[in-house]
A and B are shown apart, each in its own frame.
Chain A
Amino acid sequence: MSGFNAHGVWAIYRFELHRFRRTLWTGLAVPVITTSLYFIVFGAAIGSRMAEIDGVDYGTFIVPGLMMLSLFTESIFNASFGIHMPRFTGTIYELLSAPLSAFETVLGYVGAAATKSMIVALVILATANLFVDVHIAHPLLMIAFLLLIAATFCLFGFIIGIWAKGFEQLQVIPLLVVTPLTFLGGAFYSIDMLPEPWRTATLFNPVVYLISGFRWTFFGTADVGVWVSLGATFAFFLACLGIVWWIFRTGYRLKA
């Protein structure tokens, strides 16, 4: 078997970014506007009545959570749409008949989707910086975390895009599972603020680990230990990778 099809991966990556570029302005206006809204509501209106959390004022505290919320939804949406579209229009025939391995196909789609959701997350960070002063304790780790989580949720989105039988199903998981888990996972509060038994119950929510670890890279403090957080994120990443591997092995919903 001959080598890695870099031209193929690059073709998919460029195609997907080209698709994003067509909707560039709405794609960027939406995160800027929603972030501003969050700051007006949570930052100014409610935040002024909230105490500092672990020595961080409330407006600043929600920045990592806001970034995560968008990163999750953007990653899932972009990746699921990216692979669902060719299935829907039938152009998937070309992908299936091309000399591409499963890994190369996923790399192209997930790479492009992750690129876009990272850009959105960074736009949110920049917007937030207009409202509050954000100081990042571990910038490199912050980027690394962002990358790992983006890759994980894009893989997850890729799976949804292959599983979904129609466009409504593309929305179901993000709306019914991921957004609630994110809101309940401490995007806007520290789980230490919860009374028992809710605090313990929350620890079963995987999103807690993602947000907590990411928040640690900003403030150096977190609800759960950063290594636990990193381990949990990585485990989720591996689980998604396993499912994608299975999909290509069996041809699930790709081949007759």
Chain B
Amino acid sequence: MLEPVLSIRGLSKTYASGLQALKPLDLDIARGEIFALLGPNGAGKTTMISIVCGLVTPTSGTVTADGHDIIRDYRGARRKIGLVPQELHTDQFEAVRDTVAFSRGLFGCPPDPGRVEQVLRDLSLWDKRDTRIRELSGGMKRRVMIAKALAHDPQILFLDEPTAGVDVELRRDMWQLVRRLREGGVTIILTTHYIEEAEEMADRVGVISRGELILAEEKTSLMRKLGKKALTLQLAEPLAVLPAELAEWKVELNDGGHALHYEFDAKADRTGVPSLLAKLRDLGIGFTDLNTHQSSLEEIFVSLVSERKD
């Protein structure tokens, strides 16, 4: 990896309650990438983000953001970071434009109405610039929070479940926005429960479970490496029992004997598919249809997390 924009070393957190929410964790995020953090409820995603953004004090470990230590040089680090938290926290009575200008000031930037306008336009909020926040819908409030996080032009943007409770259209908008930001050079770290979202957007995927980062890999190689494929054959004639000759392959008879199901490792040198088909021909078992299915990130994810629980 080139010089990482965010570098996390040995970061852990034990809350006052004694709960260890994060076990010592190392992670590097490359400049300009979209990193999706997946994990079940309570895995420690928000805890990790909160530490990096200064909301939670770490129990151990160090973090540098664009070369600035988040504690020793918190000013330098925080100027580079924008945060959209998981919960909707907004002022009630402020107008949209004012609240975004406020955020810009808070992060030490001089007033710039033009820049605020640009951010509002990018989020389709310009028409609502003089509306009080409490009069907005939930989806628009979330966009206001994103606008606030972008008001100081951060290099690193954290989106903690940006599409939770958001309709399909807004979710697509959000994906587009994330891509546009990345084109502008912003590094994005997002958490999500929607695997399709990670699959759709991320360059790299991290899976966190019970406070442990159990993997962080390129999405494509992850899917290739862990991806199991399944072959399903629709039989011309139903079979009552599985012929003993097929025991060598772990095939299953499904659909009342009408379908043969074979799972294989797509990354293996010998998948067993050609030999299985040859054997079926030898046995005179005909089929009318054939399809293969590659498991999605979701299936990979579920199997990873449940493996850990055993």
Contacts and interface: CB of A to CB of B under 8 A. Distances in A.
Interface residues of B, number: 39
B55 A97 contact: yes
A41 interface: no
B280 to A, nearest CB: 60
- Where chain A touches its partner, the secondary structure class is helix
A96 interface: yes
A97 B81 contact: yes
A94 B223 CA distance: 37
11 contacts: A2-B75, A2-B76, A7-B106, A7-B107, A7-B108, A15-B94, A93-B89, A94-B89, A97-B78, A256-B55, A256-B56
Interface string B120-132: 0000000000000
B76 A94 contact: no
A255 interface: yes
Given A1-B73, A99-B75, A93 B106 contact: no
A1 B57 contact: no
Interface stretch (B97-105, B172-180, B257-265): B97-105
Contact of B56 (A15, A89, A255): A255
Interface string B182-197: 0000000000000000
B105 A11 contact: yes
Query: What 7 pairs between A and B have smallest CB-CB spacing?
Result: A11-B105, A90-B89, A99-B75, A99-B78, A97-B53, A98-B106, A5-B108
B16 A99 contact: no
A97 B89 contact: no
B249 interface: no
Contacts of A19: 93
Interface in B70-100: 72-79, 81, 83, 85, 87, 89-94, 98
A255 B98 contact: no
Nearest to A10: B105
A99 B87 contact: no
Nearest to A97: B53
A43 B236 CA distance: 107
Given A8-B108, A93-B89, 8 more contacts: A1-B76, A2-B76, A10-B105, A11-B102, A11-B106, A94-B103, A97-B78, A99-B107
A100 interface: yes
B16 A256 contact: yes
Among B54, B74, B93, B106, residue most surrounded by chain A Cβ atoms (within 10 Å): B106
Contacts of B73: 1
A81 B77 CA distance: 30
Interface string A90-120: 1101111111110000000000000000000
Nearest to A108: B106
Contacts of B50: 256
Interface in A1-51: 1-2, 5, 7-8, 10-12, 14-15, 18-19, 22
A10 B107 CA distance: 11
B63 to A, nearest CB: 13
Contacts of A18: 94, 98
